[in-house]
Amino acid sequence: MASIETEPLRTVQLDGLVVLKIIKHCRESYPNDVTGQLLGLDDKGVLEVTNCFPFPTDGDEDASGKSYTFQQTITNKEGGGKMNTQYQLDMMRCLRAVNADNNTVGWYRSAHLGNFVDLSLIETQYSYQNSLSAQSVVLIHDVSKSAAQGNLSLRAFRLQDDFMKAYEAKKFTTESLAQAKLSFSNIFEELPVEIHNSHLVTLMLHNIEMPKLEADRLRTLSTFASSQQKELEEARPLAPNFDVLELELDPFMQKNLQYLLDCADVQQQEQNNYQYWQRSVAREQGRMQAWLTKRKQENAQRAQNGQAPLPEDEVNSLFKLPPEPSRLDSMILSAQMHNFTKQINQFAGPSLARLYSIQELQK
């Protein structure tokens, strides 16, 4: 892990162009998950992301016809994050040639209906924080959630320090988790995301939001007052979307419930495996205790006969307790289920409010 002491991150600041690049890349490849690199600078607790570029998928070719694939990947010996190093080196070289930011500050990934918490995400993020920079983050853009709720879903995460230490030790037993006070809720640290635009871009957005009306569209002064608001609404490209007022339940909630049930089934299997391990330990401990009781009786009989007692420490070589299974998978499933329940709660609130509003209007 990086040894340079830096100020803890407080927020992630994204340039508007970076946000547009991420959205474009994720939507073009939807529903397939895609990833990319984030470039920028860490300045006094603010991670400024000023540029990004996508990672190629299998079979993608550059302008010279050179094909990049993920079949030949290099896995970091300390972390496990897989990346096409040759493609990244080529991109860094090109960015450096045009005097663009080429300092890696993290990566981004697309998601589907909030389903992104998995072992692959943890391995890759651990590799970034352990090998590149402790301030590296991962941005998650959920395309389906953005389309369902009408708001941009873009979240920033990083692994907490306590979890980084536990993952480095590769020990996720019940005792170690209790000592480190780790649970599914403190695997990731979510950071607030801010979108930053230059003054020229902000001015352009204001001009797009409120365009000037053409003179030939205003027929008479008498009709101007009544038609002014209507003309403004028609000419505004960023007009409000009234589709969110529809009473029909969106498939977004149904899919979340389905994924939540699938996670619950897998979690039940993990719990059954853990209970099987507990029963195996109890059986083995019973055999060990029975052997020790028998050996003590033999030693008592040998003492009466004036013979030397037999050693009792042979129990450790004759019986072996089965190792405890890792609790990491269970933690990841719990974190994913927690994410699904939060999404359902956020989406169910406005839906129920609309239904109750219509019920009151019909009285």
What is the Cβ-side half-sphere exposure of residue 137, based on CA atoms within 13 angstroms? 28
State residue 245's pLDDT score: 61
State residue 3's pLDDT score: 46
Taking the complete model, does pTM exceed 0.75, yes or no? no
Q: C-alpha distances in angstroms, 317 versus 286, 292, 314? A: 16, 13, 5
How far is it, in rounded angstroms, from Cα 122 to Cα 332?
9
Helix/strand number for the chain, H first, E second: 11, 12
* CB-CB contact of 164 with 129 (8 Å): yes
Q: C-alpha distances in angstroms, 198 versus 16, 63, 142? A: 9, 31, 26
Question: How long, in residues, is the chain?
Answer: 363
Kindly state the DSSP code that residue 324 receives in the 8-state scheme.
Answer: P
* CB-CB contact of 322 with 281 (8 Å): yes
Would you list the DSSP string of 281-317?
A: HHHHHHHHHHHHHHHHHHHHHHHHTTPPPPPSTTHHH
Instruction: Kindly state the average pLDDT of the residues 55-78.
Output: 47
- For residue 6, pLDDT over 80 is answered with no
Instruction: Kindly state the average pLDDT of the residues 288-292.
Output: 88
What confidence tens digit (pLDDT) does each residue in 227-282 have? 555 555 555 555 565 665 666 656 677 777 888 888 889 888 988 988 898 898 89
Confidence class of residue 60 from pLDDT cuts 50, 70 and 90? low
- What is the dihedral sign for C-alpha 8, 11, 16, 21? positive
168 vs 97, which has greater pLDDT?
Answer: 168
Average pLDDT, the chain: 76
Nearest alpha carbon to residue 6 among 49, 39, 46:
46
- Give CA angle at 179 (178, 183), nearest 5°: 40
Sequence-ordered strand ranges (E) for the chain: 11-15, 35-43, 46-54, 60-61, 67-68, 74-75, 82-83, 104-111, 137-142, 154-159, 188-191, 193-196
State residue 117's pLDDT score: 86
Give the tokens for residue 317: 């070589």
State residue 189's pLDDT score: 87
How far is it, in rounded angstroms, from Cα 141 to Cα 114?
9
State residue 71's pLDDT score: 33
Q: Which helix (H) or strand (E) holds 320?
A: none
Give the tokens for residue 308: 């030397």
How far is it, in rounded angstroms, from Cα 352 to Cα 348?
6
What radius of gyration, in Å, describes the C-alpha atoms of the chain?
29
Q: In degrees to the nearest 10, what's the CA dihedral of 181, 187, 188, 189?
A: 0
Q: Partners of 82 in the beta sheet?
A: 75
352 vs 68, which has greater pLDDT?
Answer: 352
- For residue 224, pLDDT over 60 is answered with no
Confidence class of residue 1 from pLDDT cuts 50, 70 and 90? very low
